[in-house]
Amino acid sequence: MLVLGAVLRLAWLGRKSFWLDEIISVCIARLDAPGFRNIVFSWEANMSLYYALLRVWMGAGAEREFAIRLLSAIPAILAVLVFYKVGARLFGPGTGVTAALLLAVNAFAVRYAQEARSYSQYLLLVLVACWMFLRAAESGRHRDWAGLALVLTLAIYSHFFAALFVPVLWAGAAYHPRRYQVWKPLLAASLATGTAALPLLLFVLLKDKGQLDWVPKTRPQQFYDLFELMSGHGGWPLLALSGAFLLCAAVGAVRCANAARANRWPHILLWSWLLLPIALTALASLWKPLFVPRFLLLCLPPFLLLVAAGARVMRPQWLFALALFALTGLSLRATAEYYRTGFDPPEQNWRGLVQDAVARAEVGDAMIFYHPLARLPYEYYRRRFAAHTVADVVFPRRADARLLKGTPPDTSFLVSLPVRYRRVWLVQNYGPDHFTREVIS
């Protein structure tokens, strides 16, 4: 499963251009030390651990798409191994292997293993935190609980949404067979994690500058989209098959309700892990929209482990093998489709755009970058293809941050452009609006 996961996560890793969010990661990692501290502390504290690691990674020579994305692919490969260990500890080696296979071929997991962002690192650390919790609850050793606190802290510094795993652990601990021995050290680990993550809490409370204003209001369709992605982004056939096995797992959980606590608590842990983060995010979204499927990547392991557990109860054995073959085949087909077209978000070919623009640009041309972020991919790819031959007209200027929140920009400077430049290129990363129509006219 580890080899299969590695092959799928490394395949065509550098083929596609960086999209805008990946370019932002690279640009943050390239900043000098004061600039890096300033942007992390004032604007991008989320994923701060990833940015720090990427800074070191790029300092060691990683520059191209494959090398930079390799920092995401490596933890995604290791996640398959850790996921097997979690599944084997909860339900036995057979279910662990089945779950590892489903994660290895899952297009949602592969997609974010091939992105220069923190998602695969965040997923790995949540899985390690789960494994550390299971180990600490069994052994009771202080070093295991300390390890859990450390891994949880690193996970939260990788992505804020990792904090949603803390209430999951409490829900699991409430039904653990040794809950009276577990709750005190878990409380201590949670307090240690909260103390270490306090700067991030202060950032969330005091540094909201509209970083998530792009997130739409939560709609019922988004819940369907999330579960469709977790099933492997294979459309309704794969979602329906996965849903059938989830139902089998739910029936198994009900049958365990009157059984020994040791038999039912793994089901409670997994269902809490799957549903609690989704419910808490939906609840918080009533106040501020936060429901983005990739943010909830931590829900993918319990989803797949429950699917694996539901499939394992099928009898006779050949029926289970047939079901697993269908799940794997549909997942691989979806992964192949991802390689071909991409998804969430659709492919942004900044590399091809900049290469074409640099090849066709002439002395005396100018470029207008509508929205400051549109200039970042140009600056990244320009140095790869040719010397700079185009004058840059940056719009809006740094002082006009209102544009980031949708305030109409002042277009008066457009009148002077035909006098100063032969041709004007417009580079934008949003759809046509009043400003672009004025540029064209």
Q: What is the pLDDT of residues 263-284, one digit of tens each?
A: 788 999 999 999 999 999 999 9
Residue scoring higher pLDDT (207 or 254):
207
H helical segments located in 287-441: 300-312, 317-341, 350-360, 375-385, 417-420, 434-440
* pLDDT at residue 364, rounded to an integer: 79
Residues sharing a CB contact under 8 Å with residue 408, sequence separation 6 or more, in sequence order = 434, 435
Contact 159, 118 (CB under 8 A): yes
Residue scoring higher pLDDT (434 or 368):
368
SS3 177: coil
pLDDT at 112 over 80: yes
SS3 424: strand
Share of the chain above pLDDT 90, in %: 66
Residue scoring higher pLDDT (382 or 154):
154
Apex CA 47: angle with CA 191 and CA 156, to 5°? 15
Cα–chain center distance at 191: 26
* Residue-by-residue DSSP string for 109-152: HHHHHTSSSSHHHHHHHHHHHHHHHHHHHHH--HHHHHHHHHHH
For 5-20, write each residue's pLDDT tens digit. Answer: 999 999 999 999 999 9
At residue 99 the predicted structure's pLDDT band, cuts being 50, 70 and 90, is very high
For the segment 345-365, the average pLDDT, to the nearest whole number, is 83
At residue 400 the predicted structure's pLDDT band, cuts being 50, 70 and 90, is very low
At residue 393 the predicted structure's pLDDT band, cuts being 50, 70 and 90, is low
Beta partners for 395? 370
**Nearest alpha-carbon partner for 361 in 382, 343, 340, 377:** 382
Residue found under tokens 């909860």: 90
Q: H or E segment at 369?
A: strand 365-370
For the segment 313-325, the average pLDDT, to the nearest whole number, is 90
SS3 390: coil
* pLDDT at residue 54, rounded to an integer: 97
56, 180, 257, 299 from 28: Cα distances, Å: 12, 46, 50, 28
For the segment 95-116, the average pLDDT, to the nearest whole number, is 97
Q: Which amino acid is at 358?
A: V
Rounded Cα gap, residues 27 and 58, in angstroms? 11
Mean pLDDT across the chain: 88
Residues sharing a CB contact under 8 Å with residue 330, sequence separation 6 or more, in sequence order = 232, 234, 237, 238, 241
pLDDT at 440 over 60: yes
pLDDT at 121 over 60: yes
* pLDDT at residue 409, rounded to an integer: 62
The count of residues in the chain is 441
Contact 51, 44 (CB under 8 A): yes
At residue 403 the predicted structure's pLDDT band, cuts being 50, 70 and 90, is very low
SS3 232: coil
Backbone conformation region of residue 354, classed left if phi is above 0, alpha if psi is from -120 to 50, else beta: alpha
Strands (E), 34-191: none
Q: H or E segment at 286?
A: none
For the range 246-251, what are the long-range contacts, defined as Cβ-Cβ under 8 Å and sequence gap of 24 or more? 246/303, 246/306, 246/307, 246/310, 247/310, 248/309, 248/310, 248/311, 248/313, 248/314, 249/306, 249/307, 249/309, 249/310, 250/310
SS3 392: strand
